[in-house]
Amino acid sequence: MTETTEEERPITVPSIGISVQGMEEKAGEKLAYCVGNYVRELSRYINLERLDGITIAVDYKEALLALDRGYETDHRLTPSSELVEGVAMAPSVIRDGILKSHLVLNAAYIYSLPDEEDEHYAHSLHLLAHECAHVELTMTTDKAFPDTLLKKIYDDAADACEGQAENACWDEYAACRIAAPFGRDPLQDYANAFITHLDETMNRANECIRRYRTDHDHDRVLSEVVRYYQNLMTSGSYLLGHMDGHGLTIDDVPAVRGALGGHWFAPFFERLRTALRELWARYGQWEDRSEFAPIGEIIIDVLGEGGFFFQWDEHGNCGFRIPFTFATM
């Protein structure tokens, strides 16, 4: 058997439009042409048959808000979370009844792609590869579970918490693992972000709970506490995906190993790694969404460690309880 050369790998991306917003015309055309060429080459390794198009924008936030999703939704695309700045996204869109993905890229973080000598070139290439990986992942999930993405109706707040954690952790793990060979190695970035989450998450969540003791805003404390702990798990998933993409272990990242030493999240990190690797081993061959359930179980246990517990009354209505602790009084 002979190895498949780069030239023999098929180009999977279809003919797409690339829009550049907020740049001088010639510079925009040059950037669009370059991005298009790189996407074509990346599509030999990452399946981009369901890429809808690409928008490169100076005003990234406005480009996200203006994107035609192709379906009715109240969800507003936003560029960042509290601890991690977002600079690119691959939102799902519907085109002629088919679920696709549209890349939206912050021009400030992709502009160096035409110049391989630019110090930020490798960063731009990796960013592009990571978002292309999300395109493949959306398609793969849609093929495994047809007509379910964008249409999931959760039973209650606990079900939503589990499902959102499953989606976020898996998507970022797999995208990082797929994109690992391309461009700059962001291992230190992922490690630093994860360590920040380890340091800050419980303190921030506890602040929310202490405020809740006086304002009794149930919706706010539910949203904020769940989000903080989900972000911690998602940050860990970025790191795990990149490490597995390069065949690394925790011993190869001493700062993370040290941060996890004796940390309350350490056993959950191990459980998360096991769950994500098992999903990767069956990539695209999943038979039921229940295969993702171990991740949902982890977020419920993580919330419990933080003193937040879902509960149900005799009628099956979901609520929560937050027992008084020294840290949350």
Q: Write out the DSSP string of 188-221.
A: HHHHHHHHHHHHHHHHHHHHHHHHHHHH--HHHH
pTM of the complete model: 0.94
Domain range holding 34?
6-144
**Per-residue pLDDT tens listing for the chain (329 residues):** 345 555 689 999 999 999 999 999 999 999 999 999 999 999 999 999 999 999 999 999 999 999 999 998 888 898 865 545 679 999 999 999 999 999 999 999 999 999 999 999 999 999 999 999 999 999 999 999 998 988 889 999 999 999 999 999 999 999 999 999 999 999 999 999 999 999 999 999 999 999 999 999 999 999 999 999 999 999 999 999 999 999 999 999 999 999 999 999 999 999 999 999 999 999 999 999 999 999 999 999 999 999 999 999 999 999 999 999 999 98
Neighbours of 47 (CB within 10 A): 20
Residues 136 and 61 grouped into a single domain: yes
* 244 lies in some domain: yes
Amino acid at site 57 = A
* 253 lies in some domain: yes
Nearest Cα neighbor of 235 from 219, 256, 221 is: 256
Task: Give the integer Cα–Cα distance in Å for 227 and 82.
Answer: 10
Q: CA-based angle 255:281:175, to the nearest 5?
A: 55
* 1 lies in some domain: no
Residues 60 and 172 grouped into a single domain: no
Say how many domains are in the chain: 2
Residues 260 and 233 grouped into a single domain: yes
* 151 lies in some domain: no
Cβ-based neighbours of 17, under 8 Å, separated by 6 or more: 53, 54
Please tell me the predicted confidence (pLDDT) of residue 134: 98
Residues 174 and 138 grouped into a single domain: no
Residues 237 and 313 grouped into a single domain: yes
* 152 lies in some domain: no
Residues 199 and 309 grouped into a single domain: yes
Residues 75 and 169 grouped into a single domain: no
* 222 lies in some domain: yes
Residues 225 and 324 grouped into a single domain: yes
Of 144, 165, 199, the last residue of a domain is 144
**Bridge pairing between strands 309-312 and 51-57:** unpaired
Cα atoms in the 13 Å half-sphere on the side-chain side of 275:
26
Distance of CA 181 to the CA centre of its chain: 18
Q: In whole angstroms, how far apart are CA 20 and each of 57, 108, 291?
A: 6, 12, 40
Q: In whole angstroms, how far apart are CA 97 and each of 12, 72, 75?
A: 20, 13, 20
Q: Which two tokens stand for residue 56?
A: 């490169």
Q: In whole angstroms, how far apart are CA 267 and each of 169, 205, 270, 301?
A: 16, 19, 5, 11
Nearest Cα neighbor of 20 from 103, 135, 119 is: 103
Of 104, 120, 144, the last residue of a domain is 144
- Given a contact cutoff of 8 angstroms between Cβ atoms, the answer to whether 183 and 246 are in contact is no
* 149 lies in some domain: no
Residues 119 and 247 grouped into a single domain: no
Residues 45 and 140 grouped into a single domain: yes
Count of positions (residues) in the chain: 329
Amino acid at site 327 = A
Residues 314 and 215 grouped into a single domain: yes
- Given a contact cutoff of 8 angstroms between Cβ atoms, the answer to whether 250 and 257 are in contact is yes
Residues 30 and 100 grouped into a single domain: yes
Of 93, 123, 144, the last residue of a domain is 144
* 173 lies in some domain: yes
